[in-house]
Amino acid sequence: MRVFVTGASGWIGSAIVDELMTAGHEAVGLARSERSARSLAAKGAGVLRGDLDDLGSLRRGATDADAVVHMANKHDWGNPAESDRAERAAVETLATALVGTDRPFVVAAPLSGLVEGRPAVESDVSPAVGPDSNRGGSENLALDHVDQGVRTIVSRFAPSVHGAGDWGFVNFLVGAARKQGVSGYIGDGSAAWSAVHRSDAARLIRLGLEQAPAGTRLHVTAEEAITTKAIAEAIGRYLDVPVVSIDPEDADAHFGFVGSFFAKTMTASSEITRTTLSWTPTGPTLVEDIEAGAYATA
């Protein structure tokens, strides 16, 4: 298949491009910068210049492809409304271009906010509906197009997609520990995250693209729940710094913007996902990656 990938030069997207090409597919990546374009071209992928606000490029990329993987997001923590607006417009544009084709449309989504008090499961419906909701309600918007001949596959990602070079949440936690001289967790550290190694995540997206039925929700999680205290302890062992509890009121000052996320439980089961696609994660655990130096440059 010829697969159009947004976010193709990002942390997860670049691994997906590699996975697709290794499996014999042709990948075409959306490139916002010349640097991204060169990176994609160097590995033999096609390049389409544009960004999330260039709806014409998005439409052209989807129209010319056999499948679409949408990974890009502005992640503007200072202006979440703008991120939500751009996400909704991009999903609407891509999905509309695929109407009536039965082509796969893989859409990235978060696990946060799905349920309270238990790990989310694949049958849980996202409560985010409409343009004013989280991520502009893009998950439900994409699924709305299933009845219009789009093979939508929602991929809900663990908050930590880890590995050497990860610049996501854990990278900021390690950076905060270096700066503060202690590795912190919030309160009693009982909040928990799911996690998945980057290589396992990329393989699951490829399997979903190839096999998952329309309307499938995939949970891209290998470890269901790792307590934030266990994450802090692994960082403490790696950096050889004390591990301490941080008062919730001091979390933002200690951790920066990632503090609000570190206080949340974001966990999910992937049992149905594993059975549906015969997916068995094989990568290292999050703690193993931290202790092996995956965040040495944080």
Q: Specify burial of residue 196 (Cβ count, 10 A radius: 0-12, 13-18, 19+).
A: buried
Q: Specify burial of residue 147 (Cβ count, 10 A radius: 0-12, 13-18, 19+).
A: exposed
Distance CA 80, CA 8 (A): 22
In one-letter notation, the amino acid at residue 103 is R
Cα atoms found within 13 Å of the Cα of residue 264, Cβ hemisphere only: 20
User: What local confidence, expressed as pLDDT, does residue 75 receive?
Assistant: 86
* Contacts for 17 with CB less than 8 Å, ≥ 6 apart: 5, 8, 27, 29, 40, 43, 45
pLDDT band at 62 (very low <50, low <70, confident <90, very high): very high
Q: Is the pLDDT of residue 173 over 90?
A: yes
Instruction: Give 191-248 as a DSSP string.
Output: -EEEEEEHHHHHHHHHHHHHHPPTTEEEEE-SEEEEEHHHHHHHHHHHHT--EEEE-G
Q: Is the pLDDT of residue 77 over 90?
A: no
Distance CA 72, CA 55 (A): 13
Q: Specify burial of residue 130 (Cβ count, 10 A radius: 0-12, 13-18, 19+).
A: exposed
pTM: predicted TM-score of the whole model, two decimal places: 0.96
User: What local confidence, expressed as pLDDT, does residue 121 receive?
Assistant: 98
User: What local confidence, expressed as pLDDT, does residue 36 receive?
Assistant: 96
What angle, rounded to 10 degrees, do the helices at 169-180 and 228-239 form? 50
Q: Is the pLDDT of residue 5 over 90?
A: yes
Question: For residues 18 and 198, is the Cβ–Cβ distance under 8 A?
Answer: no
What pairing do the DSSP bridges indicate for beta strands 104-110 and 160-162? unpaired
**pLDDT single digits (tens) 104-163:** 999 999 998 999 999 999 999 999 999 999 999 999 999 999 999 999 999 999 999 999
**pLDDT single digits (tens) 191-237:** 999 999 999 999 999 999 999 999 999 999 999 999 999 999 999 99
**pLDDT single digits (tens) 223-280:** 999 999 999 999 999 999 999 999 999 999 999 999 999 999 999 999 999 999 999 9
Mean pLDDT, the chain, integer: 97
User: What local confidence, expressed as pLDDT, does residue 226 receive?
Assistant: 98
